[in-house]
Amino acid sequence: MLVPRPALRTIRAEDRDFLLRVYAGIRLEELALTGWDETQKQAFLVQQFEAQHHHYQTHYRGARFDLVLLGDEPIGRLYVARWREEIRIMDIALLPEHRNRGIGGALLRDLLEEAAATSRRLTIHVERYNPALRLYRRLGFEPVGETGVYLLLVLDPPTDRQAGLLK
């Protein structure tokens, strides 16, 4: 199967509605269990999105906040902080209709290659029930800690032999 090649573009103020849509897409299953009406769900999503967005912008100065694009079409977001010894995937999310097509895996492989080339570990916090956890484990991420519902996953810099397997 040919995996579509995603591109990245820095987010802009006018991307807010799209970013809210991506955020809503990752909370759909959770909200289905609440019994709330659509107005309540929308108010909750807006409040939570704004809080998360503000937190990322405030606490991760210097990080990259990108839209994921297929051609000119935005299909998701990828937020990454790069430090001297670590690359932190702050958030990776695709619209539901673009999941399970290899796009997220392609983005992760690019980050794996960058981490290997720069001898940095790659880290991400993942909800323990996130279906993507299987992908992270398959790529070699290991859980090293937990905070509430989140697992901290780490992939240490590869050895020379492991780096050859990425190619």
Where residue 85 sits, what CATH number does that domain have?
A: 3.40.630.30
Whether pLDDT at 162 is above 60: no
Those residues whose C-beta lies under 8 Å from the C-beta of residue 163, and which sit 6 or more positions away, are 116
1 within a domain of the structure (yes/no): no
14 within a domain of the structure (yes/no): yes
Which pLDDT score, from 0 to 100, does residue 161 have?
Answer: 46
The pLDDT mean for the chain works out to: 91
Whether pLDDT at 157 is above 50: yes
Strands 121-127 and 86-94: parallel
> What is the arithmetic mean of pLDDT over 76-104?
95
55 within a domain of the structure (yes/no): yes
Contact 63, 80 (CB under 8 A): yes
156 within a domain of the structure (yes/no): yes
Domain total for the chain?
Answer: 1
pLDDT band with cut points at 50, 70 and 90 for residue 2:
confident
Of all residues in the chain, the percent with pLDDT exceeding 90 is 79
Which pLDDT score, from 0 to 100, does residue 28 have?
Answer: 86
Sheet strands side by side (includes 142-147): 7-10, 64-70, 73-82, 86-94, 121-127, 150-155, 142-147
149 within a domain of the structure (yes/no): yes
pLDDT band with cut points at 50, 70 and 90 for residue 1:
low
Whether pLDDT at 4 is above 50: yes
pTM of the full structure: 0.89
> What is the arithmetic mean of pLDDT over 13-34?
93
> What is the arithmetic mean of pLDDT over 56-64?
94
Task: Give me the domain span that covers residue 90.
Answer: 7-165
107 within a domain of the structure (yes/no): yes
Which pLDDT score, from 0 to 100, does residue 55 have?
Answer: 96
Which pLDDT score, from 0 to 100, does residue 91 have?
Answer: 96
Which pLDDT score, from 0 to 100, does residue 158 have?
Answer: 67
